Amino acid sequence: MARSKSDKAFDERVAQYSEELRELLTDLYGEQADEAFRNLTELMAKAHDARPADLKRLDTKRLADPEWYKRGNMFGMTMYTDLFAGDLKKLADKVPYLKEQKLTYLHLMPLLKMPHPQNDGGYAVEDFDTVDPSLGTNEDLAALTKKLRAAGISLCLDFVMNHTASSHRWAKAAQAGDPKYQDYYYCHDDRTIPDQYDAVVPEVFPATAPGNFTWNEQMHKWVLTSFYPFQWDLNYRNPNVLVSVLSSVLGLANLGVEVFRIDAVPYIWKELGTNCRNLPQVHAIVRMLRIVLECVCPAVVLKGEVVMAPKELAAYFGTPEKPECHMLYNVSIMVNLWSALASGDVRLLKDQLDKLNALPENCWFVNYLRCHDDIGWGLDEPVEESLGIDPLKHKEFLYHFYEGSVPGSWAMGELYNYDEASKDARSCGTTASLCGVERALITHDKPLLDISMKRDLMMHSAMSFLRGFPMLSCGDEIVQLNGWEYKEDPDRVEDSRNLHRSPFNWENAAKRKQAGTLQKQMWDGLKSVREMRDDPAFAPEAWVTTWDAHNDAVLAVVRHVEGRTVLGLFNFSSARQIARLDSDGDIELPAEVALEPYQVCVVEK
């Protein structure tokens, strides 16, 4: 049978990357590399043959427009399927609501088969190939992705590379004594190696999940469990693990998933004597994932979850010649935005933005204020100290401020993972509640309500002005408040992150069209944000930099492209401020701009 145009293009891509792929496998697996290469190339061919025709057409379209995910019209949202609609079929019925917001990107929280109720929000996966029955079927997922594509929306799914649930079939076989599957994990007869590991490797959750290993009575072995005892770390020293994982990724891509958020990627390779973070082998694996996707399904992009300092981030993009992730979650800027709001001081935020803006052009970010997770106060401590800020006192101020226990705080939230020994803690809550809307409604404080809404919109505007594209947390568009009812559910009460994981309020969503409601105010405000991003200065090639406003309460950001300049000014203070700006070369700016509390001012030059 003659090879089709699509088949020939696939053959050319495989030929282009074959040598590099073999070298990467050899570096990791030595004598096992030949077999791994055969298995992987066979897997890629089967996945290409099975790829639906409409997705192959999308591949061709994306190859002609490789920077599609960097366009100014990119606007995302993240949500839990069950909390938003119930299941995948019902979510498909809600696509018009998403299209109304001109979304181009939808990130659904983990929806693959998981144990119930103990699943870490879906990040403990029982089966990488199958949708959880409570949410639907693989056919439902394929139907949803098709409907989203027709609406111009790309679907993002999490892929948990670091671990499986302890109830995964591989883990069950390991517990039953099968040595083949015990080699899929890190299993040890005694504490010799675990003790050597624990002496160097920090704990992820020292308060709620202390230690890095869990004793399995059935198997009579210690198992590496970096996150929770019911999540077993995968052993990527075994090439069968890599091939199996890549098989599942390609299967999901063929169901229409266009973006994979690879979870906890810095942790996936373990090396005794190191802290097991950001090791070179991690980058080899991510590079191979990128190659496999570019060969089989080039429409698909990778988004990394890398909760690390800015200096660690560039490596996860790879190089222009050998790229890895297409984009990363902008965790550090999210944290710094909330720090600036509480303190009314943008210096730390500006410093972090300068560091990110200095990264190479291939580095791209998904910017957000809230997501399914907590706010972890991982600020740049050396920079804090250079500014005269005590890191520990500032962290304590922030998490107490956002739980509402600091005098003058407008916020309502909760602590997550408080550790008495280190005084470390994280913060939970919806954007609206952390910005003061909930407290204002409870106290019937109209002035507080007005200024809280300004805070909320200012934060969304600032986030949307930065390098990268914005992603909303579902409910932010209708001013969703905290879901305190989680405390009445025995399966959810132990995890305060459930405070901002509550059912979507469809009654409030209906108010988005009613004049005088908070929902319409927010809906219209976010519409203005999208219109702001229609400007040519939001093109992928735009130069983005902070600017000195000569005022520590005002963030100034300049976007410049082809002789056009757009200035964004954001007042993070509850007081009126003056921004004083210096022009420089081609960048001509107003000398002085007055800003009301939490005002956003966009100036086009």
Taking the C-alpha atoms of residue 149 and residue 142, their distance in angstroms, rounded to an integer, is 11
Taking the C-alpha atoms of residue 180 and residue 230, their distance in angstroms, rounded to an integer, is 20
Phi first, then psi, for residue 162 (nearest 5°) are: -75, -30
CA 374 to chain centre: 12
- DSSP helix/strand/coil, 212: coil
Taking the C-alpha atoms of residue 376 and residue 388, their distance in angstroms, rounded to an integer, is 21
Active-site residue, from 87, 233, 263, 351:
263
CA 363 to chain centre: 15
Residue with tokens 């606007």: 75
Distances (CA, A) of 337 to 144, 204, 221, 457, 547: 34, 24, 44, 13, 16
Can you state the angle between helices 239-253 and 33-50, rounded to 10 degrees? 10
Both tokens of 574, joined, read 């509850």
| DSSP characters over 496-524 | GGGGG-----HHHHHGGGSTT-HHHHHHH
Q: Look up 263 and say whether it is catalytic.
A: yes
Closest CA to 338 of 462, 202, 157, 152: 462
Cβ neighbors of 557 (< 8 A, separation 6 or more) are 353, 462, 465, 466, 544, 545, 546, 547, 567, 568, 570
Closest CA to 257 of 163, 144, 164: 144
Both tokens of 117, joined, read 């109720």
489: left (phi over 0), alpha (psi -120 to 50) or beta: beta
Residue 374 amino acid letter: D
Closest CA to 68 of 290, 286, 259, 207: 259
Strand order in the sheet with 414-419: 375-376, 424-428, 414-419
Q: Look up 19 and say whether it is catalytic.
A: no
| DSSP characters over 396-453 | HHHHHHHTT-STT-----EEEEEETTTTEEEEE--HHHHTTHHHHHHHT-HHHHHHHH
Active-site residue, from 87, 126, 158, 305:
305
The residues carrying an active-site annotation are 263, 305
